[in-house]
Amino acid sequence: MVVTVIDLGELRDGAPPRPARRRPRAAGRPFRSLVVLLVALVTLAAAAPPARPAARTLAGSPAAVAFVSGDRVYVVQPPDPQLGVGRQLVAYRAGSGPPRTLWRTLLPGAGTATAVWEQDGTVLLVGRTGDDSVYETVGFDARTGRVSWSQPGVGFPAGEALLMQVPEVTGRQPIRRVAVSDGRTLWSAPGTPDDVELSFGPSGVDRLVYLPAAGETAVYDAVSGARLVARDLRPGDLPTRQRTLLAARMLLVIGDAGSSVTGYDLDTLQRRWTAALPLVGYAERCGNLLCASKQTGGMWALDPATGAVRWTDDRWAGTLAAAGGRFLVTTGVAPDTGSGTALAVVEEATGRLVADLGVWEVVQQDEFDGRLFGVRRIRNSRLLLVELDPAGARPEVREVLVGAVGDCRMGAKLVVCRHTNGGFGLWRLP
């Protein structure tokens, strides 16, 4: 199943949403410098399939942004004052032949798009308006491009509907579940909480966690809006807002001094464990373990049931994928040359290094089907596209993209990259 995933960050005071994540989280982390082995480059180039130029190209100015959804590509084109044309959303269908323009729709005012995807016959666009602190979600008829509805806030996929959250910098408002087709409110969460965490499952948001400065922490079902459990996690303590993370179906509460982490079961809010983990910056499920990244670099691999540390390594900054008893990990410092992320494969059970993969640019994914891809620049305006599968311990070459110059995105079927002609090149995944 193909799932569209948006990561727009935690909507808190002073922290507007981050740009759309396309899985996984590689951007924004520090990266470690590694020597890129020339032998690996030669081997990969020799194993590559015949170079294939983009048989299909799409128009787009340098400031345009392209998004992939199924067999469609959506290009958000900024206004062109010289031509007297405003901001536009252009829909293309990418069949076996040249891409076909389906429709183009004028977008109101200025702004930037952070995510575009199609869901149940509606195209959804999330982005900033002219004011960088103000977000809106717009629904379009997927057949005609006609605007169906528009609302302030960020819409997150949540099963067959959307969960609408307004960043607190624009005034705290209740969270709402809205219909994709017309934006009507299906239910509204009670109150305007000080802090909310969103828990994501295979179909998008599945839980809301209300985290007040004092009183009961509550967990709500994102589909029905029903309160599932509520518990005061700090009875008798002074009101304070604590740092929290959601991972592996747990609520992780960072201690006041930043030296410990307490894990609570997300369905019952019963405490599972407390572990001495100083300066935790981020946590996520990784295979059968829980991986926690340090703010100062390095990571722990924990038993999610007990919090026991299975292994720790200061070289790794986080995991991108897990398969076959191995992790694909990023390293802690930016590479010395070029752009990209230094990657390695390690054993899940021990953290032992299996393979150093060198530096790759991890391709942003607008749809995620379990596969992970990277690109690396080679000669004559070409990109080498590889699948990054930790189980195989080496990149598997998928395509040589002729005319591609970077800034790639992909879905389950299509890859779109900036092209030497100034627009976008379009390739179908082999």
Backbone angles phi, psi at 39, to 5 degrees: -60, -40
Instruction: Match 């598997």 to its residue by tokens.
Output: 396
Contact 177, 164 (CB under 8 A): yes
Q: Which two three-digit tokens encode residue 110?
A: 């200025």
Task: Give the whole-angstrom CA distance, residue 145 versus residue 45.
Answer: 42
pLDDT of residue 338: 60
Report the C-alpha dihedral over residues 243, 245, 251, 254, rounded to 10 degrees: -40
Beta strand spans in 170-226 (E)? 176-179, 185-188, 196-201, 204-210, 217-221
Residues 6+ positions from 110 with CB-CB distance below 8 Å: 79, 87, 129, 130
Q: What is the pLDDT of residues 122-146, one digit of tens each?
A: 999 999 887 667 899 999 999 999 9
Mark the ranges of the chain whose per-residue pLDDT is less than 50. 1-48
Query: pTM score, two decimals?
Result: 0.84
Could you give all domains of the chain from N- to C-terminal order, each with its CATH number? Answer: 38-428 (2.130.10)
What tokens appear for 141 in the block? 């008829």
pLDDT digits (tens, 9 = 90+) for 11-51: 433 333 333 333 333 333 222 221 222 222 222 333 445 55
288-316 tens-digit pLDDT: 999 999 998 899 999 999 999 999 999 99
